[in-house]
């Protein structure tokens, strides 16, 4: 036995230790059924005996101690390797593929990048259409408009032909949905044409149309709307005319007041 190069592994003890004297040894917890100690004359022999139970890369066989500096470096390198494995590696191999055949010679493969029959079809409408959330009109419920005096503005009354469909669809929500469709979509508003939408609106709902049943605009509806627009314009004209006359009268009163003030000052100067 060579002094200083023999390491002894005792069974039933735990941890690394150096024996007194010139013979270093390692003491580790081993099988309790093995009463006899084991002697190892080299570090590879010790590694073969332990297998994967212990990492001896930072162990100094001559002194029988673990080197903390090497242990920290191994931990950092292991952490760095694990981080690199998680990251994708770019494929920088630009060589042509090789045909995998039983032949011992490499047979090159012709790489075809284009073909006259292969045409890329693009659908611009498919890229423009964005997914929409079902029943997004319910977010507009409970919103009210107020004027400058912080008074609630009376909402419009929808025609009787417009009836809401879907869960929790009120007249105010339907009015907001129709106004949003008029400003954000150029397609005509027809309502939900499918009759099955009333049975299961979550499946048969057309998200491009507001939550209302299908309706038909008649000539009578157009005539009533024209009369309503005419009456509103008439009232607006009368209000603008009254405002203009009020401004003219106010300007005339201010002119007369200035004229009387000027005459009074002249009389005072003459006296």
CATH of the domain at 59: 3.30.890.10
The mean pLDDT of the chain is 72
Q: Is residue 120 part of a domain?
A: no
Tell how far CA 4 is from the center of its chain: 65
Q: Which domain holds residue 174?
A: 158-216
Task: Please report whether residue 185 resides in a domain.
Answer: yes
Query: What pLDDT digit, counting tens, does each position of 132-160 carry?
Result: 777 877 777 777 888 888 888 887 777 77
Contact criterion met (CB below 8 Å) for 210 and 163:
no
Q: Which residue has the higher pLDDT, 150 or 245?
A: 245
What's the CA angle centered on 52, arms 50 and 57, to 5 degrees?
Answer: 85
Assess whether 175 and 191 both reside in one domain: yes
Q: How many residues does the chain have?
A: 271
- Identify which of 181, 185, 178, 175 has the alpha carbon closest to the alpha carbon of residue 144: 175
Give yes or no: residues 168 and 212 share one domain.
yes
pLDDT, one tens digit per residue, over 79-106 is: 666 666 656 666 666 666 666 666 666 6
Asked if 176 and 140 touch (Cβ cutoff 8 Å), the reply is yes
Q: Which residue has the tokens 């630009």?
A: 94
The per-residue pLDDT for 267 is: 64
Sole residue written with tokens 């009759």: 195
Residue 88, in any domain of the structure: no
The answer as to whether 141 is a domain residue is no
Confidence band for 233, pLDDT divided at 50, 70 and 90: very high
Question: Where residue 237 falls among pLDDT bands split at 50, 70, 90?
Answer: very high
Structural domain count, the chain: 3
Last residue in a domain, options 48, 72, 96: 72
Residue 29 pLDDT: 43
Confidence at residue 244, expressed as pLDDT on a 0 to 100 scale: 94
> Do the domain assignments include residue 193?
yes
Judged against a pLDDT cut of 70, whether residue 188 lies above it is answered with yes
Distances (CA, A) of 102 to 40, 105, 109, 132, 200: 49, 9, 15, 55, 60
Together in a domain, 204 and 166: yes
Instruction: Tell me whether residue 233 is in a domain.
Output: yes
Residue 146 covered by a domain = no
Would the pLDDT of 265 be above 70? no
Assess whether 201 and 236 both reside in one domain. Answer: no
**Whether residue 228 is found in the same domain as residue 246:** yes
What is the pLDDT, as a whole number, of residue 83? 62
The pTM for the full model equals: 0.37
Burial of 171 (0-12, 13-18, 19+ CB in 10 A): middle
**240 and 211 both lie in a single domain:** no
Q: Measured between alpha carbons, how far is residue 82 from residues 53, 88, 136 in Å? A: 21, 12, 45
Among 72, 88, 104, the domain-final residue is 72
């Amino acid at each position: 036995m060579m002094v200083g190069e023999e390491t002894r592994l005792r069974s039933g003890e735990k941890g690394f230790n150096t024996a007194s004297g010139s013979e270093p040894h390692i003491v580790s917890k081993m099988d309790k059924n093995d009463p006899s100690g084991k002697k190892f004359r080299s570090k590879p022999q010790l590694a073969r005996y332990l297998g994967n139970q212990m990492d001896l890369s930072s162990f100094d066989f001559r002194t029988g101690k673990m080197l903390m500096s090497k242990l920290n470096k191994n931990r950092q390198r292991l952490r760095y390797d694990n981080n690199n494995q998680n990251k994708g590696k770019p494929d920088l191999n630009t060589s042509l593929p090789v045909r995998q055949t039983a032949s011992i010679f490499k047979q090159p493969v012709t790489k075809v990048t284009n073909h006259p029959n292969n045409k890329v079809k693009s659908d611009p409408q498919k890229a423009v259409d964005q997914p929409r959330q079902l029943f997004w009109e319910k977010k507009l419920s409970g919103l009210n408009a107020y004027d400058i005096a912080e008074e609630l503005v009376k909402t419009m009354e929808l025609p009787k032909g417009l009836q809401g469909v879907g869960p929790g669809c009120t007249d105010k929500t339907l009015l907001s949905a129709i106004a949003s469709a008029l400003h954000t979509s150029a397609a005509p508003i027809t309502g939900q044409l499918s009759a099955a939408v009333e049975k299961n609106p979550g499946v048969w709902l057309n998200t491009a149309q507001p939550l209302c049943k299908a309706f038909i605009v008649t000539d009578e509806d157009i005539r009533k709307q024209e009369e309503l627009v005419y009456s509103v314009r008439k009232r607006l004209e009368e209000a603008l005319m009254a405002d203009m006359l009020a401004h003219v009268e106010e300007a005339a009163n201010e002119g007369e007041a200035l004229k009387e003030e000027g005459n009074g000052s002249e009389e005072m100067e003459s006296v």
